[in-house]
Structure 1
Amino acid sequence: MFKQALNYKAVIYAAIMVSLMWLGFLAQNIGLLEGCNGAIIPLVPSGLKGVIFSPFLHGNTEHIFSNSVPIFVLIFLLFQFYPFIAKKVFFLGWILTGLLVWLLPPIDVFTGDYNYVCIIGASGIVYVLAFFLFFSGVFRWNMKLLTVSMVVALYYGGLVWGMMPEELFSTLETPSRISWQSHLSGAVIGVMMAFIFRKTGEEKQKFIWEYPNYYNEKDDKLWQEYREAHPEDFQELPYKKKDNVWERLDELRKNGYSELP
């Protein structure tokens, strides 16, 4: 049963993405990629190539480790529970988030200074997937998909803090250079796609007995056989009009009707 339920392609796609991220990180460490090569540079034409390549680049080991686990888990959940639209969501989310990040000027919210930055990492995709998986379950109101939403909220609910400019709450003299623009862009795109694709793919399951004209001959036969075998279950309860309803209930309890309140 588990083998039939598990979509092995979901595991493969997740493993491929994480492997490509580590290959990109290896290329950085052996000197094949240097500086801002392959990064998103907002509003700079040469920085547009980062829309495609920046998710494969990371600043250090801690950076890539922090993205590898959620990328694997969220891609798996996407392809496992949304196989009909998973590729659209993943690639559209990737491209649209990168383009939105490129369009957002990196301005300090306090000073208004324009900062020339190189944005790398797969955190934008992490936010796309996390917010899509959460809001898609809510918009569809499907119990199975709502369970996925709750799992995502439980493990990745803290992602909301990453959408805020670091200078609003950080007391560090040297900022850690977290790209809140990528996080905010990914969250916005994820919610938008959850709403746009809310009626695409798996529909809410409706069982046959939920239809108003449902009739099953076998069920009816079993019901008739039960009535014949247990006629005592269908006898009317004795009724005697009393002024006090509680006295009537006490009398029925004494006669063996233990299930009465």
Structure 2
Amino acid sequence: MDIAPPTPEPGSAAVRFDRERINYAVFSAAILIAGIWLVWLGSWLLGWSMNDLGIAPRQLGGLVGILSAPLAHASFDHLMSNTLPLALLATLTLYAYPLATRFALPMIWLLSGIGVWLFARDSVHVGMSGINHGLMFFLFLTGLLRRDRLGVAISLVVFFFYGGMLLTVLPREEQVSFEYHLAGAVSGLLAAILLFRLDPKPPRKRYSWEDEDDEADDATDAEFDLPRPDGVPVLWKRDPEQSGSARILPFPARIDDDTGGTRRTLH
């Protein structure tokens, strides 16, 4: 599905395109949230073990957790703590950067899982918090790199709501997988560096006062421009019609103090 880029003019076409982007972002984020809820309900009803779905570091059987671990949660409280951040971060990511998200989300999902499998402590790691950290860091850095109004605004929003994620990449609680948080954050930063140019920037709106300033500057510059050589009057040329009436003014004589005579001076 091709998503139209945002436009600076608030016309009917811009409103329609923006509505399409919002619908696309909300619908896609809802599918992702529905997936983690269905997996949790299925594991609760069928008695599945989290050990079968999570990442077991450096074990061949734990490789499957790279794909399934973000969908699995250890408890209902764990699920609820990840649902709201995922809803907001996924919606903002899909709305602001629909093209980059198609590559960023799988990259964060896989790289964070691989990082946990390679470097995490011996335990079973489950939950969507690693993906949430990846999306938060992706949104924050992408907005800073792009420097457009939409990106900077979203960077400020996610930092205001979830800036505390900067501290959760460090070990704080024994039961919390900071390794998943750290791997997700690094994956999000890497995805932002590689993909921040993928979505086109919205065209910048130009206001009337900017054009007026340019015209005023041009007029001021023209006032101080030097004239063309053929437009400079030649002052030393004598009018041929007045050459007959020209007069030569002699210099006054100068008295020589030594001899008492006079002498002419040349100037």
Please say if residues 50 and 74 of structure 2, whose CA atoms lie closer than 8 Å, have aligned partners that are also in contact: no
TM-score (norm 2): 0.69
Answering whether residue 43 of structure 2 is matched by residue 28 of structure 1, we say: yes
Higher CA-based Rg: 2
The 2-side partners of 1:151 and 1:58 are apart by: 27
Give the equivalent residue in structure 1 for 2:54.
39
Contact 2:50 2:72 in 1 (8 A): no
Tell me if 1:164 matches 2:177. Answer: no
Q: State the shift of 1:20 in Å.
A: 0.8
Q: Quote the residue 2:231 is aligned against.
A: none
Give the letter aligned to residue 200 of structure 1: L
Equivalent residue number for residue 192 of structure 2: 194
Match of 2:150 in 1: 144
C-alpha separation in 2, matches of 1:35 and 1:65: 17
Structure 1, unmatched stretches of 5+, are 107-115, 221-261
- For residues 99 and 171 of structure 2, what CA distance do their matches in structure 1 show? 35
Identity of aligned residues (%): 28
Counterpart mapping for 1:174-189 below 5 A: 175=174, 177-189=175-187
Inter-partner Cα distance in structure 2 for 1:56 and 1:160: 23
Q: Which residue of 2 is the match for residue 59 of structure 1?
A: 74
AA in 2 matched with 1:123: S
Whichever residue aligns with residue 99 of structure 1, its letter is I
TM-score (norm 1): 0.70
Counterpart of 2:9?
A: none
Question: Quick one: distance in 1 between partners of 2:143 and 2:196?
Answer: 9
Counterpart CA distance in 2 for 1:61 and 1:31 is 15
Query: 1:131 aligns to what?
Result: 137
2:200 and 2:93 map into 1 onto residues whose CA distance is 13
Q: Which residue of 2 aligns with 1:5?
A: 18
Q: How much has 1:34 moved relative to structure 2?
A: 1.2
Measured against aligned partners, the alpha-carbon deviations of 1:193-224 in whole angstroms (never above 9, x if no partner) come to 111112221226345789xxx99xxxx9xxxx
- For these two proteins, the number of residue pairs brought into alignment is 197
Cα-Cα RMSD:
2.3
CA distance in 1, matches of 2:40, 2:135: 22
Q: What secondary structure, in the 3-state scheme, does the structure 2 residue paired with 1:162 have? A: coil
Q: Which runs of 5+ in 2 are unaligned?
A: 1-11, 216-267
Match of 1:14 in 2: 29
Letter in 2 for 1:136: T
How has the CA–CA distance of structure 1 residues 35 and 141 changed in structure 2, closer, same or farther, with 3 Å as cutoff? closer
